[in-house]
Amino acid sequence: MLLIGQSLQFRRSALAGALARDDRALIAESSRAQVEAGAEALDLNFGIDPLPHEIPWAIAAARSAAPGVPLWIDAGRPAAITAALEACTHDGVPGPFVANSLPAGAGTSPADEALAIAAAAAGAGLVISPRRVDRDGIANGEVDWVMHEASLAADRALALGVTPPLFFDALAYPALLDPQGVRRSLALLRVYGRREDVVPLAAVGNVAYGAPRSVALPLRVVYAAAATGAGARALILPVEDRACVRAVRLALGEIGPADAGEAWLCAVAAWTRDNAVLPPAPEEYREAARLIFFADRPLNTPGVL
């Protein structure tokens, strides 16, 4: 399992100010703290449409604190990631890098192709995110169709020289807003595992977005266990959340449960992995379980979860 630190978000908290002030020391310190907390890669999240000049120096600051650690360049527009990869090559900022992400669905645009070409030239990894697949709401796309569209994008990227493995994003969405979409992300992780040159990926923190702290923490823990059981091989998550990381280790069978709550997390992983029986959630995880597994209507894809 690849654990990717998610807490380098340049549009939130102190790092938003660091980006505005050109505060490289704070970015380096934050990057170092993530690695020391157990991150094996760092997701540098620049938001939807960052200014072109912002990304390269922020990447260089993170690299100074984390030599050799894969840096995931995360931005909403492919053109912004392309420009960042090209700038890093020009400025001699060493990799490894992962471009996060190439949109899939609705065909391939020139900007999409430019990103794949830039990733190939930089020797960077690539995330395929099927966020364009269904225009009627992210929870309404059928799982097999999402896999089909993601595979088309992946095949095109490979033809343009991107080196496998590719990461397929399972599109985890906030449980408070789209519980059905959360369930679909678990189904996607299971389907993604059918392709050998793909690493199924989920962003754990997304499911807790907008939730109060009392609910957000259990949401992350339960989803981390469920996603691991469903076949995720890479997780973007807050590595400083020790309970969340422990849930991953429990689901992988690396450690045994210390109490009834942890035993239930193991059962969650077995349920998403093997369709085992899911026992009732203990009180500490009851609301998180309701939101993730039972709220709204069930996933309408036959035979999956």
pLDDT band of 303, cuts 50, 70, 90: very low
Rounded CA Rg of the chain: 19
pLDDT band of 264, cuts 50, 70, 90: very high
The string of pLDDT tens digits covering residues 131-173 is 888 655 454 568 988 999 999 999 999 999 999 989 999 999 9
Q: What is the dihedral of CA 121, 122, 123, 125, to 10 degrees?
A: -110
* CA pair distance 207, 209, nearest whole angstrom: 6
Write the CB contacts of 110 (distance below 8 Å, at least 6 apart in sequence): none
Give the Å distances, CA to CA, from 31 to 78, 84, 237.
23, 18, 14
The string of pLDDT tens digits covering residues 95-133 is 999 999 999 987 789 999 999 999 999 999 999 999 888
pLDDT band of 299, cuts 50, 70, 90: very low
pLDDT band of 304, cuts 50, 70, 90: very low
Residue 298 has pLDDT above 50, yes or no: no
Percent of the chain at pLDDT exceeding 90: 80
Q: Give the pair of three-digit tokens for residue 77.
A: 């527009």
Residue 174 has pLDDT above 50, yes or no: yes
Q: Give the pair of three-digit tokens for residue 242.
A: 């020790």
CB 198 within 8 A of CB 166: yes
CB 116 within 8 A of CB 157: yes
What are the φ and ψ backbone dihedral angles of 58, each rounded to 5 degrees?
-65, -40
What does the pLDDT read at residue 134? 64
What does the pLDDT read at residue 301? 39
Residue 168's beta-bridge partner residues?
128, 200
pLDDT band of 305, cuts 50, 70, 90: very low
- For the chain, give the mean pLDDT: 92
Residue 300 has pLDDT above 50, yes or no: no
Q: Tell me the domain boundaries of the chain.
A: 2-169
User: Which has more confidence, 140 or 43?
Assistant: 43
What does the pLDDT read at residue 20? 84
Q: In the CATH hierarchy, which fold is given to the domain comprising 2-169?
A: TIM Barrel (3.20.20)
* CA pair distance 109, 130, nearest whole angstrom: 14
User: Which has more confidence, 48 or 88?
Assistant: 88
CB 183 within 8 A of CB 299: yes
| Mean pLDDT, rounded, for 4-25 | 89
The string of pLDDT tens digits covering residues 204-244 is 999 999 999 999 999 999 999 999 999 999 999 999 999 99
Closest CA relative to residue 303, chosen from 270, 268, 275? 275
CB 223 within 8 A of CB 204: yes
